[in-house]
């Protein structure tokens, strides 16, 4: 029985952790390229949830595409919509407190960035309350309440995989792989990496750093919104749901290593595993406590994170 519980915890941790990892990748992309701590990232997750809900219901994606593909297409539509919303926010708000414009200023513009993104978080959450209401919602599909059974093997040992979480796992891994090749193999990806490594040198080489930051912010928001759409298929949500996940996102990014997109993915996956395995010994209410105990232990042994690097300053 103990072995079965451990295997069940591991599989559940991998399924949930993969979506956490995708959330962390969105936040990690914004910080890695722009060096902006975005307090509104949880609200972009919330917008992705509601965007997926309305795309799924208004466009009747469940009837047209079925319960497997319909929610995924809805999440992709929500991600695209949030991408353009993020582009607009950067164009008219964030560009004034980020990039070359604030280079050399006190704190490199981080103080106004913190206030701006915190204010944006409050505005989006309360606007969501006005437009969407406070009643918890979820995307009801047959997958949420059904599971695949793996086994039995070694006697009566079986592992159950929730179908909605399994589909979310596959999509999360696929998006992460596509993003990896996009960042490493495409011209835009090289532009983003150049702007992240040294924005002033990139500017002298003819790279539009402001455009790179705008694309990075839009992509980071879209990826987190897509993850929110996947979560919405098995988790109830309301306009303030972002606060429940933003702590996990920041913990995953710091755990993986600030500035490392791959580290953010593995950091989020680690948090999912710790969260689910902790329920074998602790009450559900103490899941986040277990996360931060492991987080503090790793920070004590490796302050730069699992995949971060120490930087020597002249």
Residue pLDDT, tens place only, 154-168: 667 778 888 889 999
pLDDT in the model for residue 309: 62
Per-residue model confidence (pLDDT) at position 129? 94
SS3 83: helix
pLDDT tens digits, 119-129: 999 999 999 99
37-89 per-position pLDDT tens digit: 899 999 999 999 999 999 999 998 888 888 889 999 999 999 999 999 999 99
Q: Token digits for 35?
A: 């060096």
Query: Residue 4: is its pLDDT beyond 80?
Result: no
Mean pLDDT check: name the lowest of 26-30, 109-113, 127-131. Answer: 109-113
Computed over every residue of the chain, the mean pLDDT equals 87
Extended beta strands in the chain, E state:
147-153, 157-162
**Who wins on pLDDT, 215 or 281?**
215
Q: Report pLDDT for 49.
A: 96
Is pLDDT at 152 greater than 80 in this prediction?
no
- Tokens coding 282: 């602790």
Name residue, tokens 């990806």: 189
Is residue 282 very low, low, confident or very high in pLDDT (cuts 50, 70, 90)? Answer: confident
Task: Categorize the per-residue pLDDT at 231 as very low, low, confident or very high, splitting at 50, 70 and 90.
Answer: very high
Calpha distance 20→173 (Å, rounded): 11
User: Which pTM does this prediction carry?
Assistant: 0.91
Closest CA to 98 of 206, 217, 221: 217
- Out of 5-9, 32-36, 103-107, 296-300, which region has the weakest mean confidence (pLDDT)? 103-107
- pLDDT tens-digit map of 258-270: 778 888 999 999 9
Give the CA diameter of the chain: 66
Task: Please tell me the predicted confidence (pLDDT) of residue 312.
Answer: 38
Tell me which of 135 and 257 has the higher pLDDT.
135
Tell me the pLDDT tens digit for each residue of 184-212: 999 999 999 998 888 888 888 888 999 99
| Structure tokens belonging to residue 184 | 């490493």
Q: Which residues, 6 or more positions from 83, have their beta carbon under 8 angstroms from its beta carbon? A: 218, 219, 221, 222, 225
Evaluate if residue 99 carries a pLDDT over 60. yes
Confidence of residue 313 (pLDDT cuts 50, 70, 90): very low
Residue 86's pLDDT is 96
> What pLDDT is attached to residue 140?
82
pLDDT of 308 = 67
Q: Are 234 and 144 in contact (CB under 8 A)?
A: yes
**Residue 314, pLDDT score:** 30
Cβ–Cβ under 8 Å, residues 233 and 141? yes
Judged against a pLDDT cut of 60, whether residue 311 lies above it is answered with no
């Amino acid at each position: 029985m103990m072995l079965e519980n451990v295997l069940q915890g591991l599989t559940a941790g991998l399924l949930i952790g993969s979506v956490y990892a995708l959330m962390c990748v969105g936040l990690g992309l914004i910080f890695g390229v722009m060096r902006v701590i975005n307090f509104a990232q949880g609200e972009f997750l919330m917008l992705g949830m509601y965007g997926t809900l309305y795309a799924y219901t208004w466009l009747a994606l469940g009837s047209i595409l079925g319960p497997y593909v319909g929610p995924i297409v809805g999440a992709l539509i929500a991600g695209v919509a949030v991408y353009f919303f993020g582009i607009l926010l950067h164009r008219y708000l964030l560009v004034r407190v980020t990039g070359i414009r604030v280079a050399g200023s006190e704190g490199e513009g981080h103080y106004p960035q913190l206030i701006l993104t915190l204010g944006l978080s409050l505005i989006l959450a309360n606007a969501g309350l006005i437009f969407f209401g406070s009643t918890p919602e979820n995307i009801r599909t047959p997958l949420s309440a059904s599971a695949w059974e793996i086994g039995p093997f070694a006697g009566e040992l079986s592992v159950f995989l929730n179908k909605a979480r399994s589909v979310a796992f596959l999509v999360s891994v696929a998006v992460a792989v596509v993003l990896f090749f996009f960042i490493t193999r495409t011209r835009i990806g090289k532009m983003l990496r150049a702007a992240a490594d040294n924005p002033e040198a990139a500017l002298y080489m003819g790279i539009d750093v402001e455009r790179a930051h705008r694309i990075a912010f839009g992509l980071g928001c879209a990826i987190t919104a897509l993850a929110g759409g996947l979560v919405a298929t098995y988790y109830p949500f309301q306009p303030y749901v972002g606060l429940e996940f933003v702590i996990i996102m920041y913990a995953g990014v710091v755990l993986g290593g600030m500035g490392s997109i791959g580290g953010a993915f593995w950091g989020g996956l680690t948090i999912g595993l710790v969260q689910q395995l902790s329920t074998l010994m602790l009450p559900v209410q103490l899941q986040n406590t277990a996360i931060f105990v492991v987080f503090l232990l790793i920070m004590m042994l490796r302050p730069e994170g699992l995949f971060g690097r120490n930087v020597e300053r002249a």
